[in-house]
Amino acid sequence: MNENTVPELVKRKRRGAFAEVLFRLSKSPLAMFGLAIILLLIFCALFAEVISPYSPIKQDLMHMFETPSAEHWLGTDEFGRDILSRLIFGARVSLQVGFIAVGIALVVGGMLGAISGYYSGWLDNSIMRVMDVLLSIPQTLLAIAIVAALGPSLMNLMIAVGISAVPTYARIVRGSVLSIRSMEFIEAARSVGSSDLRIILRHIIPNSMAPIIVQSTLGVASAILNAAGLSFIGLGIQPPNPEWGAMLSGGRQYIRDFPHMTLYPGLAIMFTILALNFLGDGLRDALDPKLKR
């Protein structure tokens, strides 16, 4: 049999755009692993009250610094609080901070970057100079300044972390829009009468997704860490509320004697980030029809 002629004659099956992406995503085991972990975390965050064995904030001074055992699977911290329960409740905060902060950065930065790359000229110049000013301030410092001005709370924390990441996204989106904008198919779209909005949404954004997806998955990770940093200096999540970053820094002083206090929050952050990266890579490939088979 000549195998070269066979695939040519087979008509491609028609699927919806979303189903097509899901189908391609399901071909990548790493991406599915990532997706599974993210779904598990979301499940934990949603049903924290039901699945966590203990209260995350109730102190139990008789059982301080316990190493993992049958009662406390991941041990207890310096106030005898169950680490597993705190991790489960912490997932709620950390996921929220990670996704919403990146969402804010992505929407604001993405829009600014797309406008600035597409229209160029004075608009581009003025937007990007403002971004340069923001970039010249260290990201954490900027976040501290914003959250200090707004007052410490979960919402303000997300806004601060989000805004401090805006310039990065604006730059990335602008760069890829610039490279796509000069392609001939943009001109072809214009020649059939497509509006600017349609060209940006339908032609430019889908073709400039790859670097943005990679940056956002990494961005969720750094947003979680950033938020943890802010919580550590007292500007983020207020104790005794559980948050992974805060648990990590809280356990730091006991790391010699009770490493499990830092180990498990650290592992939680690591797996979340790892899962996001796998999912991000898989999504990037699934969204690109060229990389299919």
Partner 1 sequence: MNDEKYIIVKNLKKYFSTKRGKLHAVDDVSFEIKKGETLGLVGESGCGKSTLGRCLIRLLDSTSGEVLLKNKDNDNYVDITKVNAAEMKALRKRVQIVFQDPYSCLNPRLSVWELIAEPLIVNNIYNNSADMRKRIRELMDTVGLAERLENSYPHELDGGRRQRIGIARSLALNPEFIVLDEPVSALDVCIQAQILNLLNTLQKEFKYTYVFISHNLSVVRHVSDRIAVMYLGQIVELCDYQELFKSPLHPYTQALLSAIPLAKVNVKRERIILEGDVPSPIEPPNACRFAGRCRYACDKCRAGAPELKEHTPGHFVACYRAGELEK
Residues in contact with partner 1 by the rule CB under 8 A = 9-14, 183-185, 187-195, 198, 202-203, 206-207, 287-290
Q: Categorise residue 110: left if φ over 0, alpha if ψ from -120 to 50, beta otherwise.
A: alpha
For partner 1, give the closer residue by CB, 207 or 226. Answer: 207
Minimum Å gap between C-beta 12 and partner 1 is 4
Minimum Å gap between C-beta 20 and partner 1 is 10
For partner 1, give the closer residue by CB, 20 or 78. Answer: 20
For partner 1, give the closer residue by CB, 151 or 289. Answer: 289
Measured distance CA(202)–CA(216) in Å, rounded: 20
Minimum Å gap between C-beta 169 and partner 1 is 21
Tokens of 116: 């600035």
Tokens of 265: 């929050």
Residue listed under structure tokens 């934990």: 44
Give the contacts of 287 (CB within 8 A, at least 6 positions apart): 21, 206, 209, 210, 213
Measured distance CA(60)–CA(64) in Å, rounded: 7
Tokens of 199: 């060209």
Minimum Å gap between C-beta 281 and partner 1 is 18
Q: What is the DSSP letter of 291?
A: G
Minimum Å gap between C-beta 211 and partner 1 is 15
Minimum Å gap between C-beta 188 and partner 1 is 5
Minimum Å gap between C-beta 194 and partner 1 is 5
For partner 1, give the closer residue by CB, 2 or 191. Answer: 191
Preceding omega of 240 cis (within 30 degrees of 0): yes
Minimum Å gap between C-beta 244 and partner 1 is 37
Q: What is the DSSP letter of 72?
A: S
Helix (H, G, I), strand (E, B) or coil at 94: helix
Give the contacts of 28 (CB within 8 A, at least 6 positions apart): 281, 282, 285, 286
- Residue type at position 171: R
The percent helix, strand, coil of the chain (3-state, each to 5) is 75, 0, 25
Dmax over CA atoms of the chain, in Å, equals: 76
Helix (H, G, I), strand (E, B) or coil at 76: strand
Tokens of 48: 């924290």
